Amino acid sequence: MTTSRPISYAAGPGHTRSFRETAQAFRDGRETPRDYLEKFIDRITASEDDIHAFVTLTVDGARAAADAAALRYRDGIPASSIDGLPLGLKDLIQTAGVPTQAGSPIYEGWVPERDAPVTAALKRAGATLVGKTATTEFAYGAITPARNPYDPERTPGTSSSGSAAAVGDGMLPAAIGTQLMSSVMRPASYCAHVGVKPTYGAIRQDAIHPFSPSGEHVGVHANALEDAWQILRVLAAEAGPVPGSHGLTGPAELPTKQAPKRLMRMYTPGWELASASVRAAFEDALAKLSNSGVDIVEPQSASALQVLEDDFARADWCIAEVAAFEMRWPFFEYEREGHKFHARIERLLERAHAITLDDYNAALAWKDAFRDRYMASAQMIDGVIGLTAPEIAPVGLENLGNPLMCSPASCMGAPAITLPALSADGFPLGLQLIGFNGHDADLFALANWVDDALAR
C-alpha cells in the first residue's frame, strides 16, 4: 500500500479537517495558500510516478494562483469560500491553454482556447487548479494508467479514476469528476473519500465532452464532506445549472446534521455479487444506525417500495439505452472519420446504429416514471441507503468493477453521496445515501448525521 491515510474514516465536522479551517488560517496569517499548495505538490512529487493520477500538471499556474489568493486574504477580500483550495479537473473538462484530451487519441495534444463553465467558475472563485486528472476514453472506454492508492495492482475505479486516485492518495484535497452511471461515486468508494453526485442539472455541463448529456452529472471528490458542499455551492452559483434546471441551493455552511427517521435499504442485483465480508460491513453499519434510532425499511415492507427496488434493477438498461441514442453525435462522426474505440464503446455503438427514436422515447418515458415513483416515496422514507459498490476495488486495472449500486440514483437524477465509512478485507468500501431530486442540502444534512453516528 502506498498511502498513509486510513482505510475508513468519518468525513464530517469534528472528524476530518475541512478547507474552512485552512481558510481561517489564511485569514489569520498562520498559513498561506502557497504553503498549503506546496504540501500537495510535495505529495504529488512523491506519489505520481506510482499512481499516475494526472495526465497534465499545471504547477506553475497553480503557484501563481496561490500567490494571488494570498494577496486577497491579506487584504481581507477572499474571492469565495474555496479561494486558495487546490483542485484537480477531470481531463474531460475544457481548460483554456491546457491540453484537454478526454482519454482519447483523437484529442491528443488538443488545447482549447476557452474554459468550460465549470473551469471558469472555479478560477473566478480563486481555486488553485493543479492539473488535469486521468479519465477513461471519453469517460467510457479504454482505461487510464491510474492506480488505486491502497494497492497499485487494483483499479481506482471507472472514468473519474484520476480524480479519485489523487484525492485518495492525498495528492489533492478535492477534485472534480463527472458521472453517467457510477464514475464519481464508485471510484470514491474504492479510494476512501467522499464522492457526491448532485441532482441532475445542478451544474452546467457545457464544454465537457458529451456522451449522454441528459444523464451526465458534474460531481466532486473530497476528503471532507464540508469541502464537497462548498465546491458544489460555488459551481452552482458561478457556473450555474444546466439551462432550464433550477440548480443547487442551500446554506452557506455545511447543512446542519439531521437524523433520518426512515431509510429504505437498497439491494439491486449488486447485492448478489457482494462477498460475505462486504455484506457484513454493510450489515454492521445498518445495525449501528438502527441502534441510533433510524428505522431501516426493507423494500418488501410496502408494495410501492418493492416496485422501486424492482426499478433499481432496470436502471443500467435505461442509462445504456438513452446513451446509445445520445452518443450518435459525435461518435458517428468519429466513426465516419475512421476512428476505432475500446470494446466498451464499440458495443454501445452497435446499439446506437440500431436504436430508433421510438426506442429512445420509450426509455425516457420509463425514466420519467421511475423518477416520479421515487419522488412519491418521499411520503414514506427520508431517502435510500445502500452500498456504493458491491465490491472493494478489484485486482487488475481493466476490471473497473460494477456500477449496479450507483445506477439507480444516476438514472433518476437524484442526489447521492458516498461516505468513506466502511471497509472489508482491509480495503475501503463506501456507504451510499440517496436523497430526493432538488433536495441536495437535505441529503447533506442526513449524510452529516450518518457520518457522525457511524463514527461514535
Render pLDDT for 49-82 as a digit per residue (tens, 0 to 9): 999 999 999 999 999 999 999 999 999 999 999 9
Render pLDDT for 101-135 as a digit per residue (tens, 0 to 9): 999 999 999 999 999 999 999 999 999 999 999 99
In the chain, where the domains are located:
19-256
Task: Give the Å distances, CA to CA, from 115 to 66, 89, 135, 208, 236.
Answer: 19, 12, 18, 10, 16
Task: Determine the CATH number of domain 19-256.
Answer: 3.90.1300.10
pLDDT at 2: 55
CB 229 within 8 A of CB 274: no
Average pLDDT score over the chain: 97
Q: Angle at which helices 19-28 and 225-238 pack, to 10 degrees?
A: 80
More confident residue, 5 or 128: 128
Render pLDDT for 379-403 as a digit per residue (tens, 0 to 9): 999 999 999 999 999 999 988 899 9
Alpha helix stretches (DSSP H) within 206-298: 225-238, 276-291
Query: Considering the chain, what percentage of its residues have pLDDT values greater than 90?
Result: 96
Q: Looking at residues 177-202, what average pLDDT do you find?
A: 98
State the number of CA atoms in the 13 A half-sphere of 332 facing the CB. Answer: 10
Render pLDDT for 230-268 as a digit per residue (tens, 0 to 9): 999 999 999 999 999 998 999 999 999 999 999 999 999
CA dihedral 345, 346, 348, 352 (to 10 degrees): 120
Q: Comparing C-alpha atoms, which of 410, 447, 448 is closest to residue 268? A: 410
pLDDT at 137: 97
**Exposed e or buried b for every residue in 82-102, given b needs 16+ CB within 10 A?**
bbbbbbbbbbbbbbeebbbbb
pLDDT at 196: 98
CB 96 within 8 A of CB 115: yes
Which single residue is written with the C-alpha cell 441532475?
Answer: 200
- Helix (H, G, I), strand (E, B), or coil: what is residue 175? strand
CA distance 3 to 28: 31
> Which residue type occupies 194?
V
Just list the catalytic residues.
90, 159, 183
User: The sheet that has 262-265: what strands, in order across it?
Assistant: 54-57, 128-133, 86-90, 174-179, 217-222, 194-197, 416-424, 427-434, 384-387, 262-265, 295-297
- Helix (H, G, I), strand (E, B), or coil: what is residue 417? strand
Q: Please state the pTM of the whole predicted model.
A: 0.98
| pLDDT range class, residue 6, cuts 50, 70, 90 | confident
pLDDT at 232: 98
Q: Comparing C-alpha atoms, which of 390, 389, 444 is closest to residue 415? A: 444
Residue 1 has pLDDT above 70, yes or no: no
